[in-house]
Structure 1
Amino acid sequence: MNSQIWRAGSTGLLFVMLGIMSGPTGAQSNPSPSSAQAAPSSQSAPVFKKEQLDQLLAPIALYPDALLSQILMATTYPSDVAEAAAWSKAHPKSQGDEAVKEVANQPWDPSVQSLVAFPQVLAQFSQQPDWVQNVGDAFLAQPKDVMDSVQRLRAQAQKAGNLKSNDQQKVVVQQSTPDTTVIEIQPTNPQVVYVPSYNPTVVYGSWAYPSYPPPYWPPPPGYAYPVMSGLAAGLAFGAGIAITNSLWGGCNWGGGDVDINVNRYNNINTNNRISGNGNRNGNVGWNHNAENRRGTPYRDSGSRQKYSPGVGGADQRQAYRGRTDSRDAQRQNAFNDFNRSTGGGAASNLRQNQGAGRDNVASRDRAGAGNRQGSQGIGGDRGNTANRGGNRAGTADRGGDFGNRGGGDFNRGGQAGNRQASSNRGSAFSGVQQPSASRSQMQRGQSSQQSFRSQRPSSSGRQVSRPSPSRGGGGGRGRR
C-alpha cells in the first residue's frame, strides 16, 4: 500500500517539477487540454483514493444514517473521541439520552457527546485511534467522495443479499436521478436504535480491492450480540438502545455532506443551542469547529488553509503544546495575583534585592582589602591583591568558611586560608608561591622546631606527640 502511494506521489512530483522548469511565463499562460491532463495540479489531487475510502468506511457504511452522520462529524475531533471513549469505559451502565446529558458539561463537540449514547461504538473506536483520525481527515478533505463511498458499499452489500429490512432496520432505496440510486438505512422503530456488527469481507461479497482489504472489528468485549449467527451470513444486532433526541444528524446524499435537525439537536444540547429554524425540513448544514480540534494537525493543505487561514499550521502547533489564548490569560492572571499578594512589583523587588546583594559583596571586598593593607604593609598587600579573586569566589559560592578563615589569617599576617581558597576556587594564581607566603612558611617551620626542642624530655627513647598548632595559625610571630 505504501509503495503504491509513493509511486503515485513520485509521478505527481515529476509533473510538478516539469511545470516549474517551464518558467513563470508558462505557469501563467492558459494550458491546453492535453497539457492540463498530463500535469494535474497537486491541490486537485485527492487525499484518499477510492480504494482507500472504501477500505476506511467499510466498518460503518451499514450503520443507520443518523448515527453514521454523527460519527463522521465526531471523527474530525479525534482527541475528543478518545476522551469520550475513556469516559464511556468508566461509566459502563450509561447509554442513550441519559448518558448524553451526563456529559453536557464536557468540553467535547456535541457530535462527540452524542456518541456516549452508544458505548459499544466508542469501545470499538478506542481501539482504532488511527482509523478515527483518517476517517475525519477524509471527511474534511473529500466529503462528497466519502458519501459516494458509503453508497457504493451499501449497493455492494445489497447486491450480495446482506442488506435488507428486518425488525431492527429499514432499508429504503430511492432513485434520485436516472443514473443515481440512494440507499438509506433507518431504524424500524425511531425510538430504538440497533447498531449492527458485521464482517466486511463477508457482508460485501467479493471485495474489489485485494490490495486494500477492509478491517474487521468483532463485537467488543462485554457487549452481547444475541444474533451472533448473523455474522456468518451478514449482519448481527445486539440490544437496542432507547433514543429520543441524541440522534439529530442526517445524511444529505444529494449535497454530498451531512446536516443537523435543529429541533432534535436543541432538545438535547441545552447548553449549546443552534439559533434559527433551518430549512423547510428544520435542518441546517454542519460546519467543522476548528477550535475543538485541540491541536491535532490537519492532514492536507486544503484543510489547513480552510480551517486555519494565514497561519500555516502554527496555531495547531501552539495549541498542541498547550499554548492557547485562554491558558496565556490564566498564566497572566496568576502572575498578577502573585504580585498583588506580595505588595506589587514582585519581579522589580527581586531585581533590586539582587542588585543590593551585589553592592554588599563589593563593599565587603573593599573593606577587607583596606584592613589587610593596614595590617600587613606593602609586602603583604601584594599577596592580598593576588588572592582577592579567590576570596570573591568564596563569597559568591557562599563558601563563608573559607572567606572568614582567609580574613583571620590576613589579620595575623598568614596566608594559609588564602592558599586553601585559591586552590579550591581554581584562581588564575593557583600553584604560584608568593614571597610573603614563603617567608611565613619558613617562620612557622622554625617556630615549630624550637617549640619541639623546648618540650623534649631529658630522657632519650621516649616518644612525644607534636603539639597541635593554634587555631589562628603560626603567622603571628615577627619576621626575622
Structure 2
Amino acid sequence: MRTYGPRFLAVMLLVSAAGAHGSPVTRTSPSLSVAAIAQSATAASTPAEKTFSNEELDQMMAQVALYPDSLLAQVLMASTYPGDVADAVKWSKAHPDAKGEAAVKQVANEAWDPSVQSLVAFPQLLAVLGQDPSWVQKMGDAFLAQPEAVMDSVQRLRRQAEAAGNLKSNEQQKVTTQPAPPPAAGATTTTTQPASQTIVIEPTNPEVVYVPSYNPSVVYGSWAYPSYPPYYYPPPAYYYPGAALFSFGIGVAVGGALWGNCNWGGGDIDIDVDRYNNFNSNRQINRGDNTWRHNAANRDGVPYRDRASREQYGRQLDGAGQRDQYRGRDGARTADRDRARQSMEQRGIQPPAASNREAQQRAGQASRDIAQQPRSRDQASARQGRTGDAQRPSQSNAQARQGSRDAYSGSRAAQDNNAFSGSRNPSQSRSNASRGHGSYQSSQRPSSSRGGGRPVSRPSRGGGGARRR
C-alpha cells in the first residue's frame, strides 16, 4: 500500500476545497496548479522569522529615536559594524579634542566603514554608544533583520514623546509631520493600524547638528512595557551642562560628514551620493548606489543573529580581499611573521601577546612575581650561593673528585694490608690472637678486680660511633 506525506495530503485537501467552493482548477496543466497551491501552502505554514518583538525594539531604540533623521540614519548603518564602532570609541577617547568634520578627516585612513568614520564627529554620541557594545550589536542586528519594524518603532516612540509634550521645534531642531507614505510592496506592518503621519526631525541649520540628551523613562511619558524598561546611557556631564529634561550640547559643524537619511516609506536609508563622494574621496560609489547596503566585509567576523542575515551576509562579499590589502594584510608577510614566531619559541623567547587579554594576564603574572621577591630574599640568597658553588671552575671540581678517589683508594689499600698482613708472619698472628683472647677474659671478671672501680670505656657495638658509659 502506498503512503503519502503530510505535504501531499495538505495539497490534496486544498484542491478538494477549491473544487467544493466552485473555484476553477486548471485542467490543462494540473502539475502547475498543484505546484502553485503547494507553494502557497508552504508559505502559509512557515511563519516569518521575527528576531525582536515590538517591546524589545522600543526598548533598544528609545535612546536614539529622537535624534535628527540624518544622525539616526548614520547610527543605524554604523551599528551593523559593532567592531568598528568599538574601535571608533577608543579612538575618540584617545583624541578628546577631535570633533566635527576635522575629526572625520583624521580617520580617513582607518579601515572602518564610512558610516562609522562619520560618528567620530560626535564624541558625545560615541561616549553613549561605548557604554554598552552589546546594545549596539543588537540594534544593528535588528536593523538588518527587521528594517521596517525598526523604522516603525522609531515613529511609535516619537509619537509618544510628542503626545507627552517633549518633542518640539526649537533653535536646535525642526520637528515636522508628513503624511505617512504607503507601505512598500511586500512589507509587513507591525501595528494593528498604520500610522497616518510620519514625524521628521531635522537640524535647524543643516551644517550644524545638535545631539539631544534625554532620559527615555521620562521623555516618553508613561512607558507601555514595564517588563521592558527603555535603555538609558547618559553621556558625560561636561557635554551637557545643566539638568534639563531635553538638553542640547554644543553644536557640531559636520560639513559633509553626514550623507545618509531615513527613508520612512521604504524602510531603508537613502544615500546622498554627491555628498558621500565629495567627503569620502578614497571610497567612491556609483551614482546609482543611492540606497544603503550592508557590507559584510566590514563586519570583521562578528556573527549575525538571525538565519536570514547569516545566509545573506555570512560569506565574505566581493571586495573583501581588497579590504585586507587596505588593512596591510599580505600572505607573504603573514608567513614571515609565523616563521619568526616559531623561531622565537624554539629559542625559548616568549612570543608577543596575541590579544589584549593575554597581555594583561602576562602583566598580572609579572606583578605577582615581583611582589613575591621581597618575601623570598633569604631563599634567593641561598639559591645564589648554591648557584655560585655550582658555577665554580670545572678544574676545581675535577680536583675534588680526584681527591675523593685517592682517599678511597688509600683506605681500601689499608684495609687490604690489614686483612692479609698476618699471612706473611704466622707467629706474630698467633701472638696477637692470644693477646686478644686474654683481653676478652679480663673483661669478664668483676669490676672490683679489673680496675679498682675506675670506669672503663669501650667502643660501642652499635652504629654511629657513640660512646657508652
**Structure 1 counterpart of 2:334:** 331
1:244 maps to 2:244 = no
**Structure 1 counterpart of 2:215:** 199
Cα gap change, 1:27/1:116 in structure 2, threshold over 3 Å: closer, same or farther? farther
Question: Aligned AA for 1:244?
Answer: G
Given candidates 111, 118, 121, the residue that maps to 1:117 is 121
Given candidates 25, 28, 37, the residue that maps to 2:8 is 25
Q: Deviations over 1:299-336 (max 9, x none)?
A: 01000011125x9xxxx9xxxxxxx9956554346679
Paired with 2:200 and 2:139, the residues of 1 have a C-alpha distance of 20
Paired with 2:10 and 2:311, the residues of 1 have a C-alpha distance of 22
1:69 maps to 2:73 = yes
Q: Deviations over 1:338-376 (max 9, x none)?
A: 9xxxxxxxxxxxxxxxxxxxxxxxxxxxxxxxxxxxxxx
**How many residues align structurally?**
313
| Structure 2 unmatched ranges of 5 or more | 18-36, 183-194, 321-326, 342-410, 423-427, 437-469
Paired with 1:306 and 1:80, the residues of 2 have a C-alpha distance of 20
1:59 maps to 2:63 = yes
1:274 maps to 2:277 = no
Measured after TM superposition, the shift of residue 450 of structure 1 is 7.3
Cα gap change, 1:308/1:157 in structure 2, threshold over 3 Å: closer, same or farther? same
**Structure 1 counterpart of 2:24:** none
Q: TM-score, normalised by structure 1?
A: 0.58
> What does residue range 208-287 of structure 1 map to in structure 2 within 5 Å?
208-226=224-242, 228-229=243-244, 231=245, 235-276=246-287, 278=288, 284-287=290-293
Paired with 2:8 and 2:331, the residues of 1 have a C-alpha distance of 47
1:452 maps to 2:456 = no
1:41 maps to 2:46 = yes
Measured after TM superposition, the shift of residue 260 of structure 1 is 1.2
Measured after TM superposition, the shift of residue 263 of structure 1 is 1.4
Paired with 1:199 and 1:132, the residues of 2 have a C-alpha distance of 18
> What does residue range 127-206 of structure 1 map to in structure 2 within 5 Å?
127-177=131-181, 180-206=196-222
Cα gap change, 1:92/1:449 in structure 2, threshold over 3 Å: closer, same or farther? closer
Question: Aligned AA for 1:298?
Answer: Y
Paired with 2:286 and 2:158, the residues of 1 have a C-alpha distance of 34
Q: TM-score, normalised by structure 2?
A: 0.60
Over alpha carbons, which structure has the higher Rg? 2
Paired with 2:301 and 2:13, the residues of 1 have a C-alpha distance of 39
Paired with 1:260 and 1:38, the residues of 2 have a C-alpha distance of 33
Measured after TM superposition, the shift of residue 22 of structure 1 is 6.5
1:290 maps to 2:296 = yes
Secondary structure at 1:222 match in 2: helix
**Structure 2 counterpart of 1:470:** none
Measured after TM superposition, the shift of residue 62 of structure 1 is 0.3
Cα gap change, 1:54/1:104 in structure 2, threshold over 3 Å: closer, same or farther? same
Paired with 2:213 and 2:11, the residues of 1 have a C-alpha distance of 53
Cα gap change, 1:335/1:168 in structure 2, threshold over 3 Å: closer, same or farther? closer
**Structure 1 counterpart of 2:32:** none
Measured after TM superposition, the shift of residue 154 of structure 1 is 0.8
Equivalent residues of 1:225, 1:239 under 8 A apart: no
Paired with 1:450 and 1:202, the residues of 2 have a C-alpha distance of 105
Q: CA RMSD of the aligned region, Å? A: 3.8
Secondary structure at 2:213 match in 1: strand
Secondary structure at 1:285 match in 2: coil
Measured after TM superposition, the shift of residue 455 of structure 1 is 6.3
Equivalent residues of 2:79, 2:137 under 8 A apart: yes
Question: Aligned AA for 1:250?
Answer: N
Equivalent residues of 2:131, 2:233 under 8 A apart: no
Paired with 1:325 and 1:219, the residues of 2 have a C-alpha distance of 35
Q: Deviations over 1:185-240 (max 9, x none)?
A: 000111111100111121111111111111222232432334x22x1xxx211111
Cα gap change, 1:177/1:103 in structure 2, threshold over 3 Å: closer, same or farther? closer
Measured after TM superposition, the shift of residue 252 of structure 1 is 0.7
